[in-house]
């Protein structure tokens, strides 16, 4: 069998050089599959004849016309591929869809080639990858077949890690994308709920399900997300979000940031996964990150609701017809879990809903104090024998840090960070609020470059990362120099709009500062003067772009926002005064010699408060 680098960067380079075509690539992959023979990673692989229409559609196209041109991918078998049975891991449930799932349509239109349908924990219920019926078999972990692959998207993770596809689709309700990504040295993106359409996906918990992505690199995950994250007006759960309009883009991670870290006693990790957390903390520090300890109690409490609350009834609802007509068709453990939703009442739903709202309010407050959160993806990697002995207890442990994400409407990304002495991989999770997906990927890319792990389980070295522009998280850094400074009279205008102070610094040494004292409170006027100016103290505040319009509308003439050079040479947005406008402003005092607004205020001790 051939081990290939199937990343977008490498394949597209080979296609452009004429060294490879999609047809020759697919032919090689089919030959590898024939050599492997029966493979429980897959429930249904497409034949050469079934693949021909997808290959024919690429004739005359190229990586310059289709962003995912010639990238082979796998589809978890609870996601529809037209003309191929969807089983959700249960033969008695199988049906043949007439059209692709919406997300699959987007990927194929962008040039990706579907190779088939992959194995899973039946009805996407489980984090172990061991709950498939005997006729489908159970995949082994891509690094060690005696250990679980992780679930429920087991086959998608193993196929990607083993170099059988460039990327794969999974689903993730409770960790079904992140846990198998962690166990197989992959990037596992759990997008914001609703960002990817669920049309054509068998539901598990419909209100919080999401399609997830398995990729070998952060760049690949970002490219796939860019294609797949299309609003679907025919999917009731689809949410519209345009990253570009929101001022967000994928790229180089920021030079400084604050990252939350759960209190040590909350990790609950074994030695290997404790090492993963410690490695990630050290690497994030090296990238310019400042760790902030966070008490994650509300998040962990919310996690208990997923299987200890009424969301199990959603799983029952999804398979109600089958489980009531033919209960023996379900895997015994899957049936045990899902039948727990039968007796839940409307009172249970409301009670859990009230608690979840409280947990989310508390968790959101904690998240607002940092730019990103770091957490374990999971707490241990059990063997197949251990899961056989304790199928429910171990599954519960694996979901400690995954179960709350969709309930709290967070975006999350599993990031590989280490290959242990035992030869098995481990990782961590970066998470943030809804629609922080690109920020997570940008920071993960920086970690990827530092750690330089092999691609999946292929042993292939990672391709060199191309240069990218700076990432943007949808906020704008603004320099303030007057009453908007922290604790002063107009600072509330920043705080109320979600502003966060990021730095206390100075301008380049070529500005003059004036106080417009006819106003209440007095306002600052910063004017560039290369000949007589000096460095002026300022604060940098990061403000969401969505609230920038109302902030700008409240800035009275002659002040406005423009570009200011800082002492470190950076150019940022900040308050400036229109040239020649001071003469019409009544009482104006030059306060440059005080070095800044606070220095001037200190000189006025005992006078009217500003």
Residue in the structure block whose two tokens are 């050089």:
17
How would DSSP label each residue in 349-371? Answer: HHHHHHHHHHHHHHHHHHHTTSS
Q: H-type helices in 368-409, by residue range? A: 384-389, 391-398
Spot the catalytic one: 66, 117, 152, 500.
Answer: 152
User: 58 and 69 in contact (C-beta within 8 Å)?
Assistant: yes
The CA radius of gyration of the chain, in Å to the nearest whole number, is 27
Q: Using the 8-state DSSP alphabet, how is residue 545 labeled?
A: G
Q: Residue 75 forms beta bridges with which residues?
A: 117, 169
Task: Name every residue whose Cβ is closer than 8 Å to that of residue 166 and which is 6 or more positions away in sequence.
Answer: 6, 7, 8, 11, 71, 72, 73, 112, 160, 215, 216, 220
Spot the catalytic one: 76, 190, 500, 506.
Answer: 76
Integer CA distances (angstroms), 240 to 197, 233, 405, 439, in order: 10, 9, 19, 18
B/e letters for 36-47, b = 16+ CB within 10 Å, e = fewer, are eeebbbbbbbbe
Q: Which two tokens stand for residue 7?
A: 């990343």
Q: Residue 428 forms beta bridges with which residues?
A: 376, 415
Mark whether 384 is an active-site residue.
no
* Dihedral sign (CA 134, 129, 271, 394): negative
- 345: helix, strand or coil: coil
The distance from CA 495 to its chain's CA centroid, rounded to whole angstroms, is: 26
Spot the catalytic one: 166, 176, 212, 472.
Answer: 176
Mark whether 152 is an active-site residue.
yes
CB neighbour class for 95 (10 Å; exposed up to 12, middle 13-18, buried from 19): exposed
Q: Using the 8-state DSSP alphabet, how is residue 327 labeled?
A: G
Give ∠ CA 347-350-353 in degrees, rounded to 5: 145
Instruction: Tell me phi and psi for residue 322, to 5 degrees.
Output: -70, -45
B/e letters for 406-438, b = 16+ CB within 10 Å, e = fewer, are bbbbbbbbbbbbbbeeeebbbbbbbbbbbbbbb
Q: Which helix (H) or strand (E) holds 505?
A: strand 500-506
Cross-sheet strand order for the sheet of 167-171: 42-45, 113-118, 72-76, 167-171, 211-215, 187-190, 410-419, 425-433, 372-376, 257-262, 289-294
Integer CA distances (angstroms), 524 to 79, 190, 567, 576, in order: 58, 45, 19, 9
For the chain, what's the residue count? 610
Angle at which helix 218-228 crosses helix 8-17, to 10 degrees, equals 80
Q: Which two tokens stand for residue 265?
A: 């006693």
Residue 603's CB is within 10 A of a number of other CB atoms, namely: 11
Alpha carbon distance 457, 425 (integer Å): 9
User: 374 and 428 in contact (C-beta within 8 Å)?
Assistant: yes
Mark whether 439 is an active-site residue.
no
Q: What residues are annotated to the active site?
A: 76, 152, 176
């Amino acid at each position: 069998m051939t081990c290939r680098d199937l990343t977008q960067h490498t394949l597209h380079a080979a296609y452009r050089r004429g060294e490879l075509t999609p047809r020759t690539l697919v032919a090689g992959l089919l030959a590898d599959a024939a050599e492997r023979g029966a493979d429980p990673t897959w429930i249904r692989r497409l034949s050469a004849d079934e693949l021909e229409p997808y290959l024919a559609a690429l004739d005359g196209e190229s990586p310059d016309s289709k962003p995912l041109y010639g990238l082979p991918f796998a589809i978890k078998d609870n996601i529809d591929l037209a003309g191929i049975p969807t089983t959700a891991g249960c033969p008695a449930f199988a049906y043949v869809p007439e059209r692709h799932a919406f997300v699959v349509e987007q990927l194929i239109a962008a040039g990706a080639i579907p190779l088939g349908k992959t194995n899973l924990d039946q009805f996407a219920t489980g984090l172990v990858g061991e709950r498939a019926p005997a006729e489908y078999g159970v995949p082994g972990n891509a690094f060690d077949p005696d250990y679980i692959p992780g679930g429920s998207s087991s086959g998608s993770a193993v196929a990607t890690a083993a170099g059988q596809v460039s990327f794969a689709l999974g689903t993730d309700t409770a960790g079904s994308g992140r846990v198998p990504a962690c166990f197989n040295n992959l990037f596992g993106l759990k997008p914001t709920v609703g960002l990817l359409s669920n049309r054509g996906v068998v539901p598990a918990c419909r209100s919080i399900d999401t399609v997830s992505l398995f990729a070998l690199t952060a760049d690949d995950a970002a490219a796939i997300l860019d294609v797949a994250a299309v609003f679907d007006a025919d999917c009731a759960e689809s949410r519209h979000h345009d990253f570009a309009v929101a001022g967000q883009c994928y790229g180089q991670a920021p030079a400084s940031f604050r990252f939350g870290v759960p209190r040590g006693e909350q990790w609950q990790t074994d030695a290997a996964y404790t090492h993963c957390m410690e490695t990630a903390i050290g690497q994030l520090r090296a990238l310019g990150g400042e760790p902030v300890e966070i008490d994650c109690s509300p998040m962990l409490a919310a996690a208990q609701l997923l299987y200890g609350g009424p969301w199990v009834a959603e799983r029952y609802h999804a398979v109600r017809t089958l489980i009531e007509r033919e209960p023996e068709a379900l895997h015994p453990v899957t049936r045990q879990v899902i039948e727990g939703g039968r007796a839940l009442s409307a009172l249970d739903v409301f009670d859990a809903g009230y608690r979840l709202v409280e947990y989310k309010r508390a968790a959101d407050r904690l998240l607002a104090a940092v730019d990103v959160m770091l957490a374990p993806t999971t707490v241990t990697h059990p063997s197949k024998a251990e899961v056989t002995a304790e199928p429910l207890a171990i599954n519960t442990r694996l979901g400690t840090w995954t179960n709350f994400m969709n309930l709290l409407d967070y975006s999350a990304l599993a990031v590989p960070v280490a290959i242990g002495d035992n030869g098995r991989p481990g990782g961590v999770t970066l998470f943030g609020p809804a629609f922080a997906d690109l920020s997570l990927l940008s920071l993960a890319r920086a970690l990827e470059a530092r750690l330089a792990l092999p691609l999946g389980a292929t042993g292939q070295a990672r391709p060199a990362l191309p240069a990218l522009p700076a990432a943007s998280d949808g906020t704008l850094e603004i320099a303030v120099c007057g009453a908007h400074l922290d604790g002063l009279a107009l600072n509330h205008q920043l705080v109320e709009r979600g502003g966060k102070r990021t730095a206390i610094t100075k301008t380049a040494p070529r500005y003059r500062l004036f106080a417009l004292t006819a106003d209440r409170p007095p306002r600052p006027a910063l004017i560039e003067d290369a000949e007589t100016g000096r460095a002026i103290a300022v604060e940098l505040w990061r403000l969401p772009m969505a609230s920038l319009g109302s902030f700008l509308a409240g800035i009275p003439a002659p002040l406005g926002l423009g570009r200011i050079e800082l002492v470190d040479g950076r150019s940022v947005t900040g308050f400036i005064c229109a040239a020649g406008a001071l003469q019409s402003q009544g009482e104006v005092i030059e306060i440059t010699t005080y070095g800044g607004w606070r220095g001037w205020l200190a000189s006025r001790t005992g006078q009217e408060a500003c």
